[in-house]
Each structure stands twice: as C-alpha cells, then as structure tokens.
Structure 1
C-alpha cells in the first residue's frame, strides 16, 4: 500500500512530508511506502546495540556517530525518481553528523554513510538480497546484518540454521565475500575495532 501524494517527492521533500498517521515510511520511486512495525525484541536489540556502540566510540575517541532508524538516500540514475531506506542503525562519520547539527534539515544519510546495520525480521530477503545490492551500489563501506533469530535462508546462515552476524566490506565498487560470526565468536569490524563483543552478546540484546 502506497501513500497518496499528488506527485513524486524528492528525498528532501519526503523528509519534510507527514501524512499524520504516525507510521514510518520509505521512499520508492518518489512515493512514500509504509513500513511494518518491528516486534519488541527487534527494537530492544537496535536500541541497546546503538547505545553500546555510541559508548564505545566516545570512550575510544573514534570518529563515528551511530544513530538508529535514520533515512538513507539511495543511489538513483539520472532521470529516476528518488528512493530511500530507513536503516535500523546508521553509522555516520562524526564530521558529517556535526555538519548536520548546523543546519535545520532533518538528520539523515544524504551521502553514503560509512556503515549500516540491519536487524533481520520476517522479511529477511530484503536484508540479505535487496539491501545488500542497494548499499553496495551506494558505496556503504561496511554493511552488517544481525540475524538474532535465524530468520535467513540456510545459504546465508548455514545448516542447521543458527543466529548469525554477517559483515560485508567494500573493496573498490564491490563487497568482498562476507565475514560470518556466531556464538562466542568475537566481532571483527573496521568500523568498531577492538570491540570486546561476541556474536552471542549482541543476540542477547534482543532478550
């Protein structure tokens, strides 16, 4: 179901648009598309992980700022209508976040952010296939998929299925083969180096 608008919106117009329903939307070819509401476990994991990362960046004086539920402007070809994703966690460069603090526009990823984290739900194909291609095309350096309840297909999380964290890193214009973390595996990410966190500790943030 698409929202009713008189004409396709630009990304900036979409950020300022409000249909009064209180629902969350993404932009598809200039048209707002409503999102399904996440469950409590999904929201708890996002909130706790984002808070943990923010503390980690501040304590280690790293140049990133994590923010949850932010719009990401996707890459579109000349003449195409604009598109966006509402990412679970966007990892902004600190200089870009500070720049946005000086303007009145909505806080969003107007330019490709260094990292995006998506927490998987029932529509797992979006995270493992569609968003993977979109974020690669956009040039997001690191794309992290947190599948805390083993929603994904066995080709992504193995057999038997088990909770998995998958990290894609950009090399040139393409993502390298992913790094996969489960159980007591320590997370290795260029966006949060030396973080003392296992895959299971991240999954536990949903409980």
Structure 2
C-alpha cells in the first residue's frame, strides 16, 4: 500500500518516500502531486520517445531516452519534476551527483531535450516548468499541447493544438510554434522527421 503523504517535504524526503512501483508523483514546493495521465497522453509521449530513440540510434549519439528521471530545480530543495520524455547525455551523467542512487538530474547540460505533454494542469508546463527548466539551463524544451488546452496568451485565440519548441539562447528561451503538417524543427535533432499533424492524430 502507498504510504501516507506528509503535508510538506523536501526533495530528499520525497525520494525516500516515493513508493516503488506505485504511480507517478512530482513535488511542487514541498507538496506531493500524483500524476494521472490519460491513455492518449501516454500514446503521444510514447510516439516522441520512439522517434527520438530512432534518431539517437541512427546518428549513434551518446544520448538515451530516460524511462523516468527527476529534474531538480536549481534553487529549490522542495521540488522535483518528471518530464514526460527526457533525452539525457550519457557523458554528462558522469558529473551528476544524484544520478546513480536516485536518478535525479541537477544540471541543465545533462538534459538534451525535455518534453511535457499538456494535460488539464497546463499551468505547470507553461509557467512552472518553463521557468525552472530555463533557469536550470536545459537547452531545449517542448510543450506538446495536442488538445489545445493552454492559455490563450500562449497558444492564441481561438485555441488550437500546437507544439512549442523552446530553445535556450543566451540564457533565455526563444520559442517556435508548429501546427498542422509543419515539420517540428529541433536544434538538438535537426533531421528529425516528425510533423505536428502526426502527433495530433495520435492524440485523437
């Protein structure tokens, strides 16, 4: 059975508490949040993991798609986020102090690409994670809003499905948006053959 959740906890306490083999949880400023993705959400995430894995294999890059890892914000010991898809640099892992024991990432350069597939709690992806990943220095971050759930200030009005690719330039994210049959342009994977329409069809 899952253990009782304290009112607030640090990331270390969260990692000690995390129930092995039961559910998926993130920590937001000391508060544990259980993630309950839908089947289509998982299918969309799986498509990205598959396509990126194929590209990594094809190019023989020293990267891999992590099944699960926790990203620790740079200035907090009370939060930890699990991206829907994370491409990690095998060489950079050598300097990650918490990786072998905890599968925790503390340095932005270790994450070549982080992807969040938007659910009803879209503010987490557009506000909290966007800011934290930028501060940490993660070079590329995708927000895959296949249902068009995000705020109008982010995805326009009327709201439509979109994939937003944030690229770190001089410490600040610059964004490109992709819709319909536009090919998603990734700085990390410039030859990636994946269109926004292909992603949206999986999420229908």
TM-score class normalised by the smaller sequence:
0.7 to 0.9
The count of residues paired between Structure 1 and Structure 2 equals 197
The within-5 A match list for 1:67-78 is: 67-76=66-75
Structure 2 unaligned blocks of 5 or more:
none
* Match in the other structure for 2:6: 4
| Contact preservation (8 Å) 2:74, 2:106 | no
Of residues 178-187 and 51-60 in structure 1, the stretch that sits farther from structure 2 once superposed is 51-60
Distance 1:201 1:72, change over 3 A: same
- Residue 98 (structure 2) pairs with residue 93 (structure 1): no
SS of 2:143 mapped into structure 1: strand
TM-score by length of 2: 0.84
The 5 A counterparts of 1:23-102 are 23-29=23-29, 31=30, 33-76=32-75, 81-96=77-92
The root-mean-square deviation of aligned C-alpha atoms, in Å, is 2.5
Unaligned runs of 5+ in 1: none
Matching of residues 100-119 of structure 1 within 5 Å: 104-112=100-108, 113-119=111-117
**Residue number in structure 2 paired with 1:171:** 169
Structure 1 residues 154, 27: CA separation in 2 closer, same or farther (over 3 Å shift)? closer
TM-score, with length taken from structure 1:
0.83
Q: Is the CA contact 1:26–1:35 (under 8 Å) kept in the aligned structure 2?
A: yes
Q: Which runs of 4+ in 1 moved over 6 A?
A: none
Q: CA deviation at 1:142?
A: 0.8
Number of the residue aligned with 1:195: 192
Q: How far apart, in 2, do the equivalents of 1:21 and 1:93 lie?
A: 25
